[in-house]
Amino acid sequence: MTDYVLLLVAYLLGSIPSGLIVGKVFYKVDIREHGSGNLGGTNTFRTLGVKAGLAVTIADILKGTLATALAIWFSTEFHPLIFGVLAVVGHMYPIFAGFRGGKAVATSGGVLLMYNPILFVLLLLSFLVALYITKYVSLSSMIAASVALIYSFFTRDLPLILVVLALATFVFYRHRANIKRIINKTEPKIKWMTLKKDR
């Protein structure tokens, strides 16, 4: 029974709507009514600025990390990655925010941070390099997910391979509207990640 309660806790951790909380408590803004309407870090950056965006992104990462850690801390019968997947599902479909959540990227990263820190670092570097080159957050997220999937195959860790495959699928599915906008060249690009030449 305790194991199943912990699984529920993992989902509830993922369901904590970081973007909604930061927006309403500190800015008196419901970010679901602005920008893309998404509760994740990207829309928070665009709507509320860098400080709020960083706070939400870090919080969303930690949700995945803490949920995955539950299995280790309490020595459950379930694989730690199952807890992580439930946190990601909670992030995408949060019970505390009308089941309208984020796009699975940061929380998925948090799961990998706990389970395989090297993969997390690779994921982060892939995202940042892709973001610098393309200026698309959505495309960079999908590229990072693809890199994580390729890396996982070399680990020969079957649970990791299956979970990364599931997480990558979540990421691509949640970005399906972004994919259409990228194809149509209507997807917004970031403007802050550039090197300015001295004059």
pLDDT at res. 198: 43
Burial of 160 (0-12, 13-18, 19+ CB in 10 A): buried
**Residues of the chain above pLDDT 70, percent:** 95
The alpha carbon dihedral of 53, 18, 101, 4 has a sign of positive
pLDDT at res. 192: 65
pLDDT at res. 36: 81
